[in-house]
Copies of this chain bind each other. A is one copy, B any other.
Amino acid sequence: MVTLKDISKECGVSQATVSKALNGLPDIGEETANYIRSVANRMGYLPNATARALKLGISHNIGILFVDKTSCGLKHEYFSEILNSLKVEAERLGYDITFISKDIGKFSMDYYKHAKYRNCDGVVIASVDFKDPDVIRLVESEIPTVTLDYTFDSRSSVLSDNVGGMQEIVRYVYSNGHRRIAFIHGEDTSVTQKRIASFFKACEEFDLRVPEAYVRAAIYHDPRSSGLATRDLLALPERPTCILFPDDFSFIGGKNELERQGLSIPDDMSVVGYDGILLSQVLRPKLTTFRQDAETMGRKAAVLLVEQIENPKSWLPQLVTVAGTLLEGHSVKTLQV
């Protein structure tokens, strides 16, 4: 490995001069600097990120919290898209990405310790149990953090516009003549709470009566539970004309149940998904759904975090809400009112 010392010997100058030349500091003569740069280049010099991090206290490395246990983690396209764009943007800004977990080797440490151990300049928190004391400890620490789809006090976060999404869906469905709209929601999380609240608010907007039985709980990304909820909805004396599913993938469960009962989409039942993953766009009939802009969310998260890392003085917590798009498919029938 070629170091500053090697270059300094080769050039007959001091290490300090080489360092300053390569970093473009002003107190090195132009020709010396050029010469040093050319030699460094010829010798294939690469700065040592580790040494730099030790000296500067800045690692140019950001941690990411993704928990696998709860929910489906990376298996969900939403999260893998976020991770990918986060990675791309972070790299563009000069930061690498390292996963943060609770244990590393024989040491069992919490997230905060792991992040400190690795000298992470900041951490992006996604897809975790936000009530976990270890998560809270991290968020309350001095390490810059950005959370996804959850907000802590005095911390930046990037949120998918669940309120707007749900509202758009209800409006769309209503404008297509539907008056009996059922909603199968996911397990109790802040995201779910927002969607439920927004659902009721939007219904109220149109003076829609929502029977209690029309709102049912299921589990995200779990077609089986959505299938059961669908069966219950279909068994109601006054069937809904449209069912909103917790997400595109779990809609498969509803689709199966509908087909089992010989009902066709959208003629016998209209349906709407959520997420806008690839799957929704290749199903036939194409699923009407609300696409979350995961790409922007990951990118924004990286930008917010790096801003905070690089301008700790002027930094103020920011909440960024990322808008989504209603993707109109052919799963909602237009009813005559």
**Which residues of A line the B interface, CB within 8 A?**
1, 46-51, 53-54, 59-61, 68, 72-75, 77, 80-81, 83-84, 87-88, 91-99, 101, 103-107, 109, 113, 116-119, 223-224, 249, 252-253, 256, 259-260, 278-279, 282-284
Output the least CB separation between A114 and chain B (Å).
Answer: 8
Given A106-B94, A253-B282, A51 and B49 contact (CB-CB distance below 8 Å): no
Q: How many copies does the complex hold?
A: 2
**27 A-B pairs in the complex with CB atoms less than 8 angstroms apart:** A1-B116, A46-B117, A47-B117, A48-B119, A49-B118, A49-B119, A50-B53, A50-B59, A60-B105, A72-B278, A74-B74, A74-B81, A74-B83, A74-B84, A75-B278, A91-B99, A95-B104, A95-B105, A96-B99, A96-B118, A223-B282, A249-B278, A249-B279, A252-B282, A252-B283, A253-B282, A260-B284
The interface centre, meaning the residue of A88, A91, A92, A109 with most chain B CB atoms within 10 A of its CB, is A91
Output the least CB separation between A169 and chain B (Å).
Answer: 23
Report chain B residues within 8 Å CB of A73. Answer: 80, 84
Q: Please, which residue of chain B has its CB at the minimum distance from the CB of A93? A: B105
Report chain B residues within 8 Å CB of A77. Answer: 75
The 6 A-B pairs of least Cβ separation, nearest first, read A94-B105, A74-B80, A223-B282, A256-B284, A50-B53, A98-B98
Q: Please, which residue of chain B has its CB at the minimum distance from the CB of A114? A: B96
A142 to B201, CA, bound (A): 61
Contact with A105, one of B92, B107, B252, B279 (Cβ below 8 angstroms): B92
